[in-house]
Every structure is written in C-alpha cells, then in structure tokens.
Amino acid sequence: MPFAPIPVSTEDVVSFLTNMHGTEVSTPHLLEASEYFDCSLATIKKRLDQYKQGIGKWDLTIKEARKQLENTVTISQNLVPQIDDTFVKFGNYNDLKKIIQSRLFYPTFVTGLSGNGKTFSVEQACAQLGRELIRVNITIETDEDDLIGGFRLVDGSTVWHNGPVVEALERGAILLLDEIDLASNKILCLQSILEGKGVFLKKIGKRVDPATGFNVFATANTKGKGSDDGRFIGTNVLNEAFLERFPVTFEQEYPSASIEKKILSSICKDDQFVAHLVDWAGIIRKTFYDGGIDELISTRRLVHIIRAYSIFSDKAKAIKVCLNRFDEETKQSFLELYDKVDADIQLEESMEPVQEGSMGNIS
C-alpha cells in the first residue's frame, strides 16, 4: 500500500519560494514549487491566497507581516514620568513646558554643557503636565531598526515590534532623543517624522501618522557641529538638512548660584556646605570660561558630592571620591581650591591610604 502524500503547508511554500526567488513571485515560480512539492498548481495557489497582489503576482511579506503586527506586544504601562520633588525650575524649563503644553508639533533642540539639566527639564515638564515621555539614548550604533522597529523572534515566531519612535507617534507622546550629537547618518531615517508627516513602515506596508500631541525633543552637548575643543569625544557633525528640521534651539546654561543652592538644599540640609560647594563650582567655571583650565564642575557633579556625603557622612571623602574621575593634576587643583573656600575641611587628612601588608595573605 503506497504512502499518502504529506500535505504541503503555507509555511513550506513560502519558505521555498522566498529562498529561491525572494518575496515577490509570479506564476512560473509557483509552477516550480508545484513540481518540487509534487502537487498541483491549484494547491500552491490556494496556499498563497492571502499573499495574492494581482493577476499572476504574489507578495510573500506584506499580509503576513500585517498579521504579525496585530499580535505585536504593545506598551500598556503609563509612560508619564514621576514628579521629582527635588527638581528646581530654571533656565529654559518654562519655555519647554509651554511647547509641550501647546500640544503642537514643534521639534525642539536643547544644547549645553554636560550635567546642566537639559534632559531633566524635559522629563519634569512632562511629569508636571501628565504627558507621556519616551526617551531614547542615541549612540553611534543607533540605526533605523532601533528607532522605527523591526521583526523580533518571540516564542519561535517572527513578530513585528514597534520601535520607540513609532510607539511615540501612535501614542501622541513626547519623544526625547538624548545625546543626539552622538548619532551617525543613520539618524536621517527620522527626516519625515521631523516634518510632522509620520512614517511609512516599508517592511510591513503600513503608514503611521502622528497622533495629536506628538513632538520631538533632542538634547546634545554640541549644536551638531562636532566638538572643536575635544571635550565631547564621539560627537559627530550632523547633516545640515536634519538640523534644519528643528525650528528652535535652546542654549542651556548652568544655573545661577542662588538656583544651584536651592537644588542642592533640596537634598542636603547643611546650608554652609551647600554654599561652599556652589561658591567653589562658580570659581572653577569662571576660570574655565576664561580659558584657565580645561575641566569644570557641573551641577550634576555637585549633586554627586551631596549624595556621597549622605552615604559616607564625611564631606572630605565625598568631595575626593567624586573628583577621582579627573586626572591627577586637575583633581589636586580642585582640592586645593576647595581648601581655600572652606577652611573647616582638611582634605589632605581624609582617606588615609591602606598600609602595606594590612590586607593580609591572599591564598
């Protein structure tokens, strides 16, 4: 008794045709498949009914991809940032908040030195307004798949997953492109999005238009022209057409001494220590802007020192461990300057080195 033929599946036919001829096939290709699987042409056509695009034409990607898109796991959690009680409004905060509050599409570029609250301001503006925020940290490796989305393997099946850009478009959320000046020319995949026109997902044959309230904010340490002084290694010269799609650019400065004291006082009750730190940072920044030194103390670095103090309960140690990121010469210069600002702290006597042999024998 002869064995009954094994029925050919749609997956088998699609796999064979894709491997042999790609995703766009015609009747001669289907005839080849019918010979390979030893079945009629009608059977092959029936298996590919969902992919038919016209007379004698089949597309093996679009309908299957759309079907998979329906099964995509979407982000269901609340993406509104939490309100930070320690946040102090300063700089461009009010302007950024007005742009977000308007719910108009108005891409905004924010530039400034590291650690001066660029990203934090956008985040807290969204928190105050109850707006969803999707933050993407840009690197030289960031490409279209990372931003727009792509196919992912889930439980053995290939499923389309929206990228953060598409997710923000569909949700009407704020898209924050952080450190955008680290990007390569692959960031140009966002051109149409920065024009407010949405994006066509060519891999699945679907157009995504921006929902009301969608907007793009970009932060950077440079203005997209590279870093002339070499402080921000890895930053790139961004395409002029890309930059031109941002109508406004805000320049973020470090906060004034009074504002910086408020920021630090919100997390530290030692007003004298806070005042000394702010005065110290102010002198260093002035020297930096005058070209006397190549490094400075950011507001973020001052917060690091305050946090270290809350952990170690030792002001001198907190300052030292947070200055260890600098080269030895710069570190010593900063320490010596702090000694002059705050005579009550003896930095040289802090953090005594471990005596030789005190670690014992390691077997």
pLDDT category of residue 192 using cuts at 50, 70 and 90: very high
Instruction: Give the angle subtended at the CA of 74 by the CAs of 109 and 161, to the nearest 5°.
Output: 75
Q: What is the pLDDT of residues 55-68, one digit of tens each?
A: 888 888 755 555 55
pLDDT at residue 236, as a whole number:
82
pLDDT at residue 356, as a whole number:
44
**Sign of the C-alpha dihedral computed for residues 34, 35, 36 and 40 taken in this order:** positive
Long-range contacts of 264-268 (CB under 8 A, 24+ apart): 264/302, 264/303, 264/306, 266/85, 266/86, 266/87, 266/88, 267/86, 267/303, 267/306, 267/307, 267/310, 268/306, 268/309, 268/310
Q: Is the pLDDT reported for residue 5 higher than 60? A: no
Q: Is the pLDDT reported for residue 253 higher than 60? A: yes
* Cα–Cα dist 155/176, whole Å: 31
pLDDT at residue 157, as a whole number:
75
pLDDT category of residue 349 using cuts at 50, 70 and 90: very low
Would you put residue 265 in left (φ > 0), alpha (ψ -120 to 50) or beta? alpha
* Cα–Cα dist 274/305, whole Å: 10
Greatest mean pLDDT range, 6-10, 173-177, 181-185: 173-177
Q: State how far the alpha carbon of 39 is from the alpha carbons of 20, 29, 55, 58, 60, in Å.
A: 18, 14, 21, 19, 20
Q: Is the pLDDT reported for residue 351 higher than 50? A: no
pLDDT at residue 66, as a whole number:
53
pLDDT at residue 352, as a whole number:
46
Bridge partners, 310 (sequence order): none
CATH fold of 93-251 reads: Rossmann fold (3.40.50)
pLDDT at residue 167, as a whole number:
95
pLDDT at residue 8, as a whole number:
82
Give domain limits for the chain. 10-60, 93-251, 257-348
* Averaged pLDDT for residues 123-146: 96
pLDDT category of residue 357 using cuts at 50, 70 and 90: very low
Q: Residue 130 is encoded by which pair of tokens? A: 């109850």
* Cα–Cα dist 255/237, whole Å: 27
**Sign of the C-alpha dihedral computed for residues 242, 244, 247 and 253 taken in this order:** positive
Q: Is the pLDDT reported for residue 105 higher than 80? A: yes
* Averaged pLDDT for residues 100-106: 97
User: In the chain, pLDDT over 90 holds for what percent of residues?
Assistant: 64
| Residue 174 and residue 100 in contact, taking contact as beta carbons nearer than 8 Å | yes
pTM: 0.74
Better-scored residue on pLDDT, 60 or 308: 308
Q: Count of residues for the chain?
A: 363
Q: Is the pLDDT reported for residue 219 higher than 90? A: yes
Indicate the average pLDDT of the chain: 87
Lookup result for tokens 């149409």:
192
pLDDT at residue 169, as a whole number:
97
pLDDT category of residue 231 using cuts at 50, 70 and 90: low
- Amino acid (one-letter) located at 5: P
Q: Is the pLDDT reported for residue 176 higher than 90? A: yes
pLDDT at residue 121, as a whole number:
97
pLDDT at residue 4, as a whole number:
45
Q: What is the pLDDT of residues 71-100, one digit of tens each?
A: 444 555 789 999 999 999 999 999 999 999
* Averaged pLDDT for residues 153-182: 91
User: In the chain, pLDDT over 70 holds for what percent of residues?
Assistant: 87
Alpha helices in the chain (DSSP H): 10-21, 27-36, 41-47, 62-70, 93-102, 118-129, 144-148, 164-171, 191-194, 240-243, 257-265, 271-289, 299-312, 315-323, 328-341
| Residue 196 and residue 152 in contact, taking contact as beta carbons nearer than 8 Å | no
